[in-house]
Amino acid sequence: MLNGKLAVITGGGTGIGLACAEKLSSMGARTILMGRNLQRLQDAALKIDGARAVQLDVTSDESVAAAFAEAAQDGPVDILVNNAGIAAATAFHKTSMEEWARIQAVNVEGLVRCSQAVLGDMKQATYARQINIASIAGLRGGAFIAPYVASKHAVVGLTKSLSLEYAHTGMTVNAVCPGYVKTAIVDNAIANIMEKTGRTEEQAVAELTKNNPQGRLIEVEEIAEVVGWLCSPLSGSVSGQSITVSGGAI
């Protein structure tokens, strides 16, 4: 279905990013995994037939330019999965501007850099896909995670704007908004809850999943399945959407 297409996945070494790379590869795409930890990317790439690892720091103009120039050696990028992101939890009145800026730099400005890096080719193509991994936090509020919520609201807004701006091209732009997923970020959140509240791991997981009607964490493969569909030719009329994968939370 995606035979010959070139897909770049940022934050591709673990979690959602790696699952997306595996899914797109299974659909026939050539995959390039990008992220800061080159060794981790290389180890992940060994699990995927034909995958390449390219080091990338989304907060650096120079790094983004170099990484996407290296990707372009394989041809124009047909699919971009903007998955790189960070999260942190603290009370808003204790949040420093440095911490605020750190989260926006990765989750918003990094996404902008990567999207702009491929737009030249994508807006000329008959087929192109941009998938932004946002969060259900991009559709509603959340206590103690204000910088993260703001960043993911920005991702959802950017998705809508880019979809409209480039609707006349062959490119679609969509966001996937997961609930809490079994990833390293959620592991850190669980550890943070345990440390600050004295709760057990089971109690911490229950706290994170209390707004999920199914009462569970989401699997990375579930996110990858939605990404795969959004990248398929059959989703060509779907653009500007924010699709939640959250156990029925609305």
Q: Which of 10-19, 99-108, 181-190 has the lowest mean pLDDT?
A: 181-190
Q: What is the pLDDT of residue 125?
A: 97
Q: What is the mean pLDDT of residues 80-88?
A: 95
* Residue 196 in this model has a pLDDT that exceeds 90: no
Q: What is the pLDDT of residue 33?
A: 98
Q: What is the pLDDT of residues 155-173, one digit of tens each?
A: 999 999 999 999 999 999 9
Percent of the chain with pLDDT over 90: 84
Mean pLDDT score across all residues of the chain: 95
pLDDT digits (tens, 9 = 90+) for 89-100: 889 999 999 999
Terminal Cα-to-Cα distance of the chain (whole angstroms): 32
Question: Superfamily for 6-179+219-245?
Answer: NAD(P)-binding Rossmann-like Domain (3.40.50.720)
CA angle 216, 218, 221 (to 5 degrees): 145
Q: What is the pLDDT of residues 114-170, one digit of tens each?
A: 999 999 999 999 999 999 999 999 999 999 999 999 999 999 999 999 999 999 999
166 classed as catalytic: no
- Give the predicted TM-score (pTM) of the model: 0.94
Per the residue annotation, which of 127, 148, 166, 180 is the catalytic one?
Answer: 148
Q: What are the boundaries of each domain within the chain?
A: 6-179+219-245, 181-217
Q: Which pLDDT does position 207 carry in this prediction? A: 84
Best CA proximity match to 38, nearest among 13, 15, 20? 13
Is residue 107 pLDDT above 90, yes or no?
yes
- Whether 206 has a pLDDT exceeding 90, the answer reads no
Q: Which residue intervals of the chain are DSSP H helices?
A: 15-26, 38-45, 61-71, 97-104, 110-122, 146-165, 184-197, 201-208, 220-231
What distance in Å separates the CA atoms of residue 132 and residue 112, rounded to the nearest whole number?
A: 10
